Amino acid sequence: DGGITQSPKYLFRKEGQNVTLSCEQNLNHDAMYWYRQDPGQGLRLIYYSQIVNDFQKGDIAEGYSVSREKKESFPLTVTSAQKNPTAFYLCASSTWTSGIRANEQFFGPGTRLTVL
């Protein structure tokens, strides 16, 4: 079955440590996205990538970094510079119809990061 996997489901880290969240998709989608979800705030876009080796900052990119070395993978690193990293992180992917429409995004199950 095609889909998006995120690992791990729960992650605990000490303050000041960098941590990398995994996101893999086998939907053959070109575009991938990372969102952060906090209670009562909906989803906020961190980074997105439309093509391998290229990515753009979203609305809240400070303290985060990404890479896109393979079409299937889009890992997110939460660095020690992120002031409030405890949150639920969601990865998504979509097809990309350049300049024509904004396609629906398909989401992974999420990773809950808790910084102690």
Partner 1 sequence: AQSVTQPDIHITVSEGASLELRCNYSYGATPYLFWYVQSPGQGLQLLLKYFSGDTLVQGIKGFEAEFKRSQSSFNLRKPSVHWSDAAEYFCAVGSILIKAAGNKLTFGGGTRVLVKP
Applying CB under 8 A, which residues contact partner 1? Answer: 4, 6, 31, 33, 40-45, 48, 50, 56, 58, 88, 90, 92, 94, 96, 98-110, 112
Longest dimension (CA), the chain: 44
* b (16+ CB within 10 A) / e for 69-105: eebbebbbebeeebeebebebbbbbbebeeeeeeeeb
Kindly state the smallest distance separating residue 79's Cβ from partner 1, in Å. 23
Kindly state the smallest distance separating residue 13's Cβ from partner 1, in Å. 19
If the CB atoms of residues 16 and 99 are measured against partner 1, the closer one turns out to be: 99
Closest CA to 82 of 21, 26, 23: 21
Kindly state the smallest distance separating residue 81's Cβ from partner 1, in Å. 23
If the CB atoms of residues 72 and 107 are measured against partner 1, the closer one turns out to be: 107
Kindly state the smallest distance separating residue 80's Cβ from partner 1, in Å. 26
If the CB atoms of residues 10 and 116 are measured against partner 1, the closer one turns out to be: 10
If the CB atoms of residues 71 and 80 are measured against partner 1, the closer one turns out to be: 71
Residue 20 CA: distances (Å) to CA of 39, 67, 74, 75, 113: 22, 11, 10, 7, 10
